[in-house]
Amino acid sequence: MIFPCIDLMDGKVVQLVQGREKALEGDAPEEMLRRFAAFPEIQVIDLDAAMGRGSNDDLVRAIASKAAIRAGGGVRTAERARALVEQGARKVIVGTSAFTRTGINEALLAEIRDAVGRERLLVAVDSKGGRIVVKGWQEATALAAEDVLGSLEPYCSGFLCTYVDKEGMMQGTDLDWFRRLRAATSLELTAAGGITTLDDVRALLGMNVHAALGMAVYTGRIRLEDLAALLA
């Protein structure tokens, strides 16, 4: 599977570099949905909710009414996860709140799993410098991604794994890291961060890893027509 990404900030579609600097604004959500129509599912992240400065709930709801989505951003409670499902999300992505500095937040993950169902829950495992990072990728934990996937499996149906070192930089990704992650779990695995070329996408699909694409699509580095052809 290939998931085009819609990241929302201040009511607009944006792309950030390293989760901090806004690199560009996309077209209106309706136009992005038209462009992404060939893809079965779209990934939607509410960056304002993730940063704790409001939300784009109305936009998420509008997008979900027109396309199948997996949604994340600011999922810190079972209530927030349930709200995203009620807004139309097929799957909910939990990131920062899934972890503590030293381990997995098992109590919260169990609560969210019980609220929306394990099959609807994805855990975002974002890595920078070999360690899982949280809070907008600003704070490192003591955990390595490949070491915790197995322990997370009882709570979710899959993982969104971002190689933050190259996120938004259009410099390629770390395929060896994704191979190690693929070997660490049998659950669904989606790669993000630095995916720049069709060869990157082919390599990921070849190892049974989905690809979530943002900057490469928005800048035209990878053409949507070529991506759609890979799914044919």
Angle (CA) 144 182 41, round 5°: 105
Would you state the structure tokens that stand for residue 83, as one six-digit string? Answer: 């709200």
Cα–Cα distance for residue pair 217/228, rounded to 1 Å = 12
Q: Given 27, 57, 126, 165, which residue is catalytic?
A: 126
Please say if 7 is a catalytic residue: yes
Other beta carbons within 10 Å of 216 = 22
- Candidates 188, 131, 185, 135; CA nearest to 163 is 131
Contact 88, 77 (CB under 8 A): no
**57 an active-site residue?**
no
Question: What 3-state class would DSSP assign to 57?
Answer: helix
Do the beta carbons of residue 184 and residue 150 sit within 8 Å?
yes
* Six token digits for residue 25: 């604004």
In the numeric block, which tokens belong to residue 103?
A: 């381990």
157 burial (CB, 10 Å; 0-12 / 13-18 / 19+) is: middle
The 10 Å Cβ neighbour count of residue 38 is 14
Which candidate in 7, 46, 165, 200 is catalytic?
7
Q: Is there a contact between 81 and 46 (Cβ–Cβ < 8 Å)?
A: no
Q: Which residues are catalytic?
A: 7, 126
